Structure formats: C-alpha cells, structure tokens
C-alpha cells in the first residue's frame, strides 16, 4: 500500500508528517489511514481463512456420506467459520472504513485517540492467532457452534479456552475502537458540520459504536461465566448445580442481536453514500434515515429471544418477542424505501460500487423478508436451526454486509490510493459474486423448508441435489473473491490516476475538499462547512 | 454500464425460473403437514411468503423502473427533491398496518401451538449424546421405556457401502426403536436431556422443542393419519449431532394396543431376576451390548477412544485401577468433559459394562463387578 502515500516528506523537522519507515511504520502507526489500511488487509486475510473453512464445509456436504472430514472437525469448521467471519472479517472491515473515512468526512486531521487506535488494531492479530491455534489443541477445535452454547461449551476441550480468550481480546479491541469513534465524531467535527449535516456513514458508525460499547461487555460476561464453569467450579449454566443452560442463551443473544446490527448498520451507511453518488441526487429523507437507524438500534436490544423460540419460554414472552421483532421491519422498510426514492428520478450510472449497492439492496431486502418469516413464532418453530436460517443470515451477512463492503472499497479506492480500479474487472467481480452467491444460498431456503437441520456433516438423500448445487456455488463464489484481490493489487500497483472527485455525484468532504490520494493528515486546518 | 449487464441479469433470471420449473419434483416447500396445527402453520407460512413477495415485487418494481428509465445513458436529468414528510409517514404506517394484520393469525396459531393441556398420552423424550430415550409416562402404554438409536449401517455412512446408501430411502432417518403413538390422539412430548441441549424435531408433525438438561419442556401433536414420520435432532449437541434421528410411527388404536401389549411382555421378559448370580462370561457378554449402545461413540469399539478428545479405555489407569473409582466415574460423570453421568442405566447394565471394559482389549483384570457393587455406590 506504499502507493497510498506516495509522497515523501523531506521536512524532518515537521513533526506531524514524520513517520517511521518499513515495518515500524505499521507497528507504531498512529495514523488513521494506515490503521484503516491494516484493518482492511487484516479483514481480507481473515475473510480468506474463514472462506477456506466454508469450502471445507461445502466439500463435505457436496454428497451424502462422510467423505472428507470427521464430524468433530466439521463442527469445528462451522464454529470457527462463523467466529472468524463475524469477528475477524466483517467487523474489522467496517472499522477499517470508519478509520479511513470518519476524520475525512467530518473535517478532522485524525482520530481522537491515535495511540489507542493503534492498540485496538494490534489486539486483533493475536486474537486471530488464538482462534487458528485452537484447531491444533488436543481434541481439535471446539465444535460448539459460533454461539458457544453451554453446556456443550463447558464440556469442550482446551480449544474452548483459547476461543474464550480470543473473544475477550476481540471485545476489548471493539470497545476501544468504539470509544475512539464516538469521541472523534462528537468532538472533532469541523466548524459548521452540525450533527444533522454529517454524512450518513458517520451517523451509522456513531450509532454502531454505542451498540458495541453496550453489548461487547455482555458477551465478555457470558464467555467468562463459561470459563469459570469450566475451571473454577461455578454452575451458572449447569442445572445440577442450580444453574440454567438457557441463561447462557439469553445473555449471548442480548449481545447477539445487537451484533447483527453492529454489522448491518455501517453497511447501511456505506450504501447511503454510494446510492446518492451514482443517482446524482441527495439522499432522500436524510432525517428519517437517521431516526430509522437509531430506532433499529434501540429495538435491537428488545428482541433477543427471537433466536430462542424453541428453547422454551412462556407463551406471553413468545408473543412479546414476536411483536417486538416484526416491529423492526418498519424502520428497516423506511430505509429501503428511502434508498429507492433516492434513485427515483435520478440520473443513474452503474459503476461497480453502484452495482454492489444495488445487489445489496435487492438481496438484503430478500434476507429481511425471510427474517420476517422467521419472526413469526409458529413458522420459526418449523424453520429454527434448519438451513432456512442459514440462508437467511447469509443473505443479510454476505449479500448485505459483504456486498456493502465491496461497494465501499470500489467507491473509495480511488480516494485512498489515488488510482482507479479496472471497471470491467470490477463488474465481472460483481456479476460472478451475485450469481454464485445465489447459487450457493438460494437453494438453502428449500433445504431448510424440507427440514434439513443446520450443522450436520451428513444428510438424508432427499437433500442431496440442492446440497450439491450449493457446494458448486460456494466454490464459484470463493474463487471469484480471488479476482477481487487481483483487482485491488492491480489498482494499487498500476491503476490509472484517479481524479480528486472521481465520482461526479459524490459530495462529502473527502471528495470535495481533498486530493486523491488523501494527504497524510486529512485536514490540518478544518474546512468550513456551510 | 451497459445494457449488456441487464441482459445478463435477465438471462440469469430466466435460467433460474426455468430451473425451478424443471425441478418441479424437488422439495421446494415445507413438508406436507400431518396435523391440523401443521396445516395452520403451513398456511401461515404461505400467507407471509406471499405478502413478502408482493411487497418485494412492488418495491423493486419501482427500483428497476428507475434503473431502466432514470439512467444517465438515456439522458435522464436528476431531479433534486430529497424530502417528503407525507411519503415518509405513509411508508411507516402502511407496513405497520400490514404487520398487525400478520400478527393476528400468528397469535392465534401460537396460542393453539402452546396449549399442551389434557393430553391423551404423555411421553418423555430424553436427549443423550447421541440417541433418544423415551418413557411413556401417562396414558395407554404407561411404563414403556426404551432407547432409540440410529440404525443406518456404519458402512453406508463412511462410504464403504455407497450402493447400500443410495438404495436406502431412509438413510440417516431410521432408528432401531420407533416412538409408536395412536392416531387421532393428543400426544404430549416432554423434552429433557442428560448431557447437553438437544432438540426434538419432526417436521411433518410440526414439532420442534429443545431438550434442555435439568429442565422439562413440552410440546404436542395429534397425527391425523397413520404412517411413519421422520425427523432429527435440531440443536448442535456434539460429534454425532447429525446421527440421532427421531422416527414416530402413528398406528390405528387397535394396532397401538397390540403394540403396547407386546412391549409390556418384552419389558417383563427383560426384567432380570435381582437375585441372579452373574458369571464373568454373562456379564462380559451383556456388557458388550451395553457398551455398543452407550459408550462406543466416544471410546470406540477398539477401546482406543479418539486421541485428544475421548480417552482410551484400553490400558487406562482408571479401568485398571480400583473398581470403586471406575464405578463412581461412570455413575457421576466427570465435570467439564463429555463424560456424562450414566446413572440412568440399571445396576446390572452398569456392572456388566464395567466388567466388560475391565476384561477387554489390553485390560485383563479377570474380575467380575456385581450389580450389588453398583448399588452400594449409587
């Protein structure tokens, strides 16, 4: 990524521009752009690791019977695929975006706490190593599912302890990152940049950061209780000692449901930047978008038990959680309607970021609808823990969050690197991803409807055809991502020079006030926002 | 971009629809419900899916209209409107009303679904790693009790008998003992578990309920016609989660009564005379059966376990040590590991299986454990 900051600075007395060279530039970095870059590369690396795990899963499921892996290894793959994709790939990707973009979009020179920023990134690699090292512990990885449900997790081998420690570290990193983002947005906006003038991306991250600060400690609490149950004689989740296994689920999903929005809301933010830019028209209903996002965030604390409809709870509780859950469809719908209204009567062009944004809009909405189906208790009782759920959350996580991250990377790559990606290859990447994504996951709806449980390494014969199709799609999707890597490297090394305002419809500060690539410190004197 | 892209999209869409039609035989929906409640749920699912589909087509109708008509390449100039309170209020309220309309039938169905009162027959289903145990608690057949384990031959699973697998319509969905129930009767299932959380799931009977260790949950069904209905454990429960199916056999009442009679005779015959003196050979032979049903999944037929995960019994210090220690371990389990308590087995079964382990593979104690030894340590 040297090309990002291609200029060299001879003014050694100029303290602000001084930076160590070589590896120490990255290890000691306090610069939001370098740290953002590291977050993004880390995220992509984890995306490949988690992707290989997904392909191991799909290889085993290509045909009925146990061909390639043992059931315990299969369980470990489903577990760490989930953990690595959620905590290692998607979340760091959006923190990378936040680092790069928030200072530029609010007219600040850097993040509020640059050294803490360095620490919150450098906590990630050790956590990732712990998750990978867990595979090599006696007995292999902990095959307990990414939700780490007790008491399965209390009976798992030593890999579980590494996993718990990794979750603790990841949580610390997220909390520090969030504090940094909140402080930056609240304190470092340029004169005239009122809250309601901020780009949507900053708003979504502000809301997300509050969610993270609120729920990461809850997850840390849940896994700590698991740890003490395992080693220190407590019985939080052991009925024989007066505990309750379902307590774990309540605590976990009190974290877990807001976590869904921690992933989705920054994705909404990216989409809210991309769609207006390529529609050449301001975002429709900016204020209602802010309120809808905040409503989603608040509601996300009140619906956790819809992940546990079959765990056993009073019918009144089921009714409450069902009503509260369907309510989320309202603000989510408002967002989708606003995006479509933004495009309405615009002057649309379809460069790669816009294609990914539309792919997001279309498929995320589909995932939202299957979510609505799942929110209805009697229907969920049929579909819970089947492939329908797997299909549902991959529509919102992959076609939602991941597509939005791709949209964002293609959108801002010219600003970050000062170079343009290859548009033709970008479109290829989009269309291949779109087609193979649907080949992989659309058929999984049918598998779930027909009754195939998730997390099984082998299945009855009536599920064979769709599983084979899904596996083929998965390999296509996985290989398509190598094209993405090629496009990014090619852009950095030999892309054409990008304009300062590469996209004519883009109107946030990084496009209107900064050159491409953006300077080392975005705004040394704050711009005045009218 | 280009018309090319949209042609590609259209082609992909057409291909997809063609393939859906071509796969008319493929299962694309919920299994055919076999209970009235199941039919309600099926209809509820259909209603929601149709509503979602209509909204989806509506919203994306607008989007694709804009995509085709409001594009720069056809010379469309961007309007600059960006706010309209009336529209915002409308698209907040209309979905709200639709959701209320959805919640009404959902609430009705849910209340019926959760009403487990006044069952004709109550059966307790206990999840074990990795099989189900059934106890008929109340109603005709009271007292019947059995385990139900996967009966698909290992060779079909591990691929040494692929032909057998392909010819087996119930691959992984067959058990040695079926849960037999009478037709047209309300069957209440109590779920619990001995070790970790499992879930009792039979799609065509519209039942799924987690089985939580230390707690009792319940659910119910009333099958409308005789038949065999198959399901699986739906909650990840460890290594063999995919290999603990549920098979419910629904019979006509007369047939069911006959089945109950046969089961009760079988139970009486299996009752072991408590005063019987067991020889080492008897115990070892019986112990091997118990071992195959309860222990083999982890400790393996070779007694070598799975290195790192499940300890070997062959040459084990515990198995070759004082008998009281081993009995206590089997009775109480070992906290924090997959070794659960096996208290639920009878004194004879435990004595037999412990004797078997102490006299198999490399273990040659030559010592028989008496059922009384177990009783003394319970």
Residue A3 pLDDT: 41
Residue A298 has pLDDT above 90, yes or no: yes
Q: Is A380 exposed, middle or buried (0-12, 13-18, 19+ CB in 10 A)?
A: buried
Cβ neighbours of B201 in A, within 8 Å: 385, 451, 453
Confidence of residue B13 (pLDDT cuts 50, 70, 90): low
Q: CB of B306 within 8 Å of any CB in chain A?
A: yes
- What would the 3-class secondary structure string for A461-479 be? HHHHHHHHHHHHHHHHHHH
Would you say the C-alpha torsion B281, B285, B286, B291 has a positive or negative sign? Answer: positive
In 3-state terms, chain A is what percent helix, strand and coil (to 5)?
Answer: 70, 0, 30
C-alpha to C-alpha distance for A268 and A198, rounded to whole angstroms: 15
φ, ψ of residue B125 in degrees (nearest 5)? -110, 120
Residue B342 has pLDDT above 90, yes or no: no
Smallest CA–CA distance from A281 into chain B, residue = B80
C-alpha to C-alpha distance for A353 and A411, rounded to whole angstroms: 5
Q: What is the percent of chain B where pLDDT is above 70?
A: 92
| Residue B130 preceded by cis peptide, ω within 30 | yes
Residue-wise pLDDT for A41-87, tens only, equals: 999 999 999 999 999 999 999 999 999 999 999 999 999 999 999 99
Cβ neighbours of A82 in B, within 8 Å: none
Q: CB of B11 within 8 Å of any CB in chain A?
A: no
In 3-state terms, chain B is what percent helix, strand and coil (to 5)?
Answer: 45, 15, 40
Strand runs labelled E in A38-150: none
Q: What is the percent of chain A where pLDDT is above 70?
A: 96
* Averaged confidence pLDDT in chain A: 93
Crossing angle for the helix pair B85-113 and B36-69, to the nearest 10 degrees: 160
Interacting residues of A386 by C-beta distance below 8 A, sequence separation 6+: A447, A448, A449, A451, A452, A453, A454, B234
C-alpha to C-alpha distance for A103 and A109, rounded to whole angstroms: 6
- Cβ of B165 within 8 Å of Cβ of A64? The answer is yes
**Pair of tokens at residue B28:** 């694309």
Q: How far is B63 from chain A (nearest CA, A)?
A: 6
Q: CB of B24 within 8 Å of any CB in chain A?
A: no
CB A201 within 8 A of CB A272: yes
Interacting residues of A288 by C-beta distance below 8 A, sequence separation 6+: A334, A338, B88
C-alpha to C-alpha distance for A328 and A301, rounded to whole angstroms: 11
Q: What is the pTM of this model?
A: 0.89
Nearest to A279 by CA among B17, B69, B52, B323: B69
Helix (H, G, I), strand (E, B) or coil at A40: helix
Q: What is the percent of chain A where pLDDT is above 90?
A: 91
8-state DSSP, B166: H
Residue B310 pLDDT: 83
Q: Average pLDDT for residues A516-520, to the nearest whole number?
A: 91
Confidence of residue A9 (pLDDT cuts 50, 70, 90): very low
Which uninterrupted H or E stretch holds A50?
helix A32-60
Helix spans in chain B (H): 3-22, 36-69, 85-113, 154-158, 162-166, 253-270, 280-294, 296-299, 323-332, 347-358, 371-377
Residue B254 pLDDT: 95
Confidence of residue A8 (pLDDT cuts 50, 70, 90): very low
Residue-wise pLDDT for B165-189, tens only, equals: 999 999 999 999 999 999 999 999 9
Q: Which CATH superfamily is domain A33-512 in?
A: Cytochrome c oxidase-like, subunit I domain (1.20.210.10)
Smallest CA–CA distance from A151 into chain B, residue = B196
- Cβ of A152 within 8 Å of Cβ of B159? The answer is no
Q: Average pLDDT for residues A270-285, to the nearest whole number?
A: 96
Residue-wise pLDDT for B120-139, tens only, equals: 999 999 999 999 999 999 99
8-state DSSP, A380: H
Smallest CA–CA distance from A435 into chain B, residue = B12
8-state DSSP, A306: G
Q: Average pLDDT for residues B184-209, to the nearest whole number?
A: 96
- Lowest-confidence region among A165-174, B66-75, B331-340: B331-340
C-alpha to C-alpha distance for B210 and A313, rounded to whole angstroms: 11
Confidence of residue B14 (pLDDT cuts 50, 70, 90): low
Nearest to A293 by CA among A195, A366, A419: A195
**Pair of tokens at residue A211:** 């969610």
Give me the residues paired with residue B128 across strands: B131
What ipTM was estimated for this complex?
A: 0.90
Q: Average pLDDT for residues B291-298, to the nearest whole number?
A: 83
Q: Average pLDDT for residues B218-228, to the nearest whole number?
A: 96
Q: Average pLDDT for residues A263-285, to the nearest whole number?
A: 96
Residue B286 pLDDT: 85
In chain B, the domains with their CATH numbers are 17-113 (1.10.287.90), 121-270 (2.60.40.420), 280-377 (1.10.760.10)
How many other β-carbons are positioned within 10 Å of the β-carbon of residue A302? 16
Q: CB of B375 within 8 Å of any CB in chain A?
A: no
- Name which residue leads in pLDDT, B108 or B349: B108
Residue B234 has pLDDT above 60, yes or no: yes
- Lowest-confidence region among A293-302, A371-380, B321-330: B321-330
CB B190 within 8 A of CB B122: yes
- Cβ of B169 within 8 Å of Cβ of A337? The answer is no
Residue A5 has pLDDT above 70, yes or no: no
Residue-wise pLDDT for A242-252, tens only, equals: 999 999 999 99
C-alpha to C-alpha distance for B293 and B288, rounded to whole angstroms: 9
- What would the 3-class secondary structure string for B100-118 be? HHHHHHHHHHHHHHCCCCC
The residues of A annotated with a catalytic role in the active site are 81, 110, 146, 173-174, 257, 259, 261, 272, 306-307, 332, 335, 454
Residue-wise pLDDT for A124-175, tens only, equals: 999 999 999 999 998 889 999 999 999 999 999 899 999 999 999 999 999 9
- Name which residue leads in pLDDT, B343 or B112: B112
Residue A101 pLDDT: 96
Residue-wise pLDDT for A486-506, tens only, equals: 999 999 999 999 999 999 999
- Cβ of B82 within 8 Å of Cβ of A285? The answer is yes
Cβ neighbours of A461 in B, within 8 Å: 165-166, 168-169, 171
Which uninterrupted H or E stretch holds B309?
none
**Pair of tokens at residue A264:** 């989705």
Q: How far is A530 from chain B (nearest CA, A)?
A: 18
Q: Which of A67, A350, A373 sits opposite B49 (nearest CB)?
A: A373
Q: Measured at the alpha carbon of residue A416, what is the angle toward residues A413 and A421, in degrees to the nearest 5? A: 30
DSSP letters, A407-457, are HHHHHHHHHHHSEE--HHHHHHHHHHHHHHHHHHHHHHHHHHHHTPBSS-S
Q: Average pLDDT for residues A114-132, to the nearest whole number?
A: 96
φ, ψ of residue B229 in degrees (nearest 5)? -120, 135
Residue A14 pLDDT: 44
């Amino acid at each position: 990524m040297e090309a990002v900051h291609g200029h060299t600075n001879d003014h050694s007395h100029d303290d602000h521009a001084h930076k160590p060279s070589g590896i120490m530039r990255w290890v000691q970095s306090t610069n939001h752009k370098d740290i953002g870059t590291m977050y993004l590369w880390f995220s992509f690396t984890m995306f490949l690791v988690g992707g290989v795990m997904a392909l191991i899963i799909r290889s085993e499921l290509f045909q009925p019977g146990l061909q390639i892996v043992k059931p315990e290894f299969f369980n470990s793959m489903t577990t760490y695929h989930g953990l690595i994709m959620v905590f290692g790939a998607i979340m760091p990707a959006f923190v990378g975006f936040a680092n790069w973009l928030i200072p530029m979009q609010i007219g600040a020179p850097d993040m509020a706490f640059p050294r803490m920023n360095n620490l919150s990134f450098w906590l990630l690699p050790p956590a990732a190593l712990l998750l990978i090292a867990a595979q090599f512990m006696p007995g292999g990885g902990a095959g307990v599912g990414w939700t780490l449900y007790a008491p399965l997790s209390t009976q798992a081998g030593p890999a579980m302890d590494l996993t718990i420690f990794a979750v603790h570290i990841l949580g610390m990193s997220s909390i520090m990152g969030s504090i940094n983002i909140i402080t930056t947005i609240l304190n470092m906006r340029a004169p005239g940049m009122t809250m309601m003038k901020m780009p949507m991306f900053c708003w979504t991250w502000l809301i997300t950061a509050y969610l993270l600060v609120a729920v990461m400690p809850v997850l840390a609490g849940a896994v700590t209780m698991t740890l003490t149950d395992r080693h220190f004689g407590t019985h939080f989740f052991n009925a024989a000692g007066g505990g309750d296994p379902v307590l774990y689920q309540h605590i976990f999903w009190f974290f877990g449901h807001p976590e869904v929005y921690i992933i989705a809301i920054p994705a909404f933010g990216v989409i809210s930047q991309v769609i207006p830019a390529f529609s050449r028209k301001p975002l429709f209903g900016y204020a209602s978008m802010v309120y809808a996002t905040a409503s989603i965030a608040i509601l996300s604390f009140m619906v956790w038990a819809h992940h546990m409809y079959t765990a056993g709870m009073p019918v009144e509780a089921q009714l409450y959680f069902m009503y509260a859950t369907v309510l989320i469809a309202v603000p989510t719908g408002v967002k989708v309607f606003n995006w479509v209204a933004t495009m309405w009567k615009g002057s649309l062009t379809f460069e790669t970021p816009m294609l990914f944004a539309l792919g997001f809009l279309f498929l995320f909405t589909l995932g939202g609808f299957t979510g609505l189906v799942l929110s209805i208790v009697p229907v969920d009782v049929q579909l819970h823990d089947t492939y329908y759920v797997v299909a549902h959350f991959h529509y919102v996580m992959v076609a939602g969050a991941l597509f939005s991250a791709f949209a964002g990377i293609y959108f801002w790559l010219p600003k970050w690197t000062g170079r343009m990606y290859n548009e033709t290859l970008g479109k290829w990447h989009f269309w291949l991803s779109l087609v193979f994504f649907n080949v992989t996951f659309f058929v999984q709806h049918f598998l779930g409807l027909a009754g195939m449980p998730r997390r099984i390494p082998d299945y009855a014969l009536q599920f064979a055809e769709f599983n084979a199709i899904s596996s083929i799609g998965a390999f296509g999707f996985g290989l398509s991502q190598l094209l993405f890597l090629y496009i990014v490297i090619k852009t950095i090394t030999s892309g054409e020079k990008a304009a300062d305002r590469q996209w004519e419809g883009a109107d946030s500060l990084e496009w209107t006030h900064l050159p491409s690539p953006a300077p080392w410190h975005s705004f040394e004197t704050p711009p005045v926002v009218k | 971009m280009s018309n090319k892209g949209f042609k590609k999209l259209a082609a992909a869409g057409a291909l997809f629809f063609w393939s859906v039609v071509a796969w008319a035989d493929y299962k694309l929906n919920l299994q055919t419900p076999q209970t009235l409640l199941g039919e309600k749920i099926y209809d509820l699912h259909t209603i929601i899916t149709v509503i979602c589909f209509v909204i989806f087509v509506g919203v994306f109708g607008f989007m694709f209209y804009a995509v085709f008509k409001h594009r720069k390449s056809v010379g469309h100039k961007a309007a600059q409107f960006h706010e309209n309170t009336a529209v915002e209020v409308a698209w907040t309220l209309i979905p709200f009303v639709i959701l209320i309309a959805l919640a009404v039938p959902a609430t009705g169905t849910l209340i019926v679904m959760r009403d487990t009162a006044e069952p004709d027959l109550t059966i307790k289903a206990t999840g074990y790693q990795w099989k189900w145990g059934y106890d008929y608690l109340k109603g005709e057949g009271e007292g019947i009790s059995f385990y139900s384990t996967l009966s698909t031959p290992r060779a079909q699973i591990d691929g040494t008998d692929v032909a057998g697998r392909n010819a087996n319509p119930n691959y992984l969905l067959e058990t040695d003992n079926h849960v037999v129930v009478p037709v047209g009767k309300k069957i209440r299932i109590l779920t619990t578990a001995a070790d970790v959380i499992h879930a009792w799931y039979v799609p065509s009977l519209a039942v799924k309920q987690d089985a939580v260790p230390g707690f009792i949950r319940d659910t119910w069904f009333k099958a409308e016609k005789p038949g065999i209905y198959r399901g699986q454990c739906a909650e990840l429960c460890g290594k063999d989660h995919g290999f603990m199916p549920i098979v419910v056999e629904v019979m006509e009442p007369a047939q069911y009564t006959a089945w109950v009679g046969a089961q009760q005779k079988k139970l009486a015959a299996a009752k072991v005379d408590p005063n019987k003196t067991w020889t080492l050979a008897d115990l070892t032979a019986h112990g091997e059966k118990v071992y195959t049903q309860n222990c083999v999944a982890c400790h393996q037929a070779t007694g070598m376990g799975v290195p790192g995960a499940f300890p070997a019994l062959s040459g084990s210090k515990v198995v070759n040590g004082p008998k009281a220690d081993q009995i206590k371990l089997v009775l109480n389990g070992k906290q924090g590991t997959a070794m659960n308590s096996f208290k639920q087995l009878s004194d004879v079964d435990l004595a037999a299986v412990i004797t078997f382990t102490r006299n198999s593979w490399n273990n040659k104690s030559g010592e028989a454990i008496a059922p009384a030894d177990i009783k003394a340590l319970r």
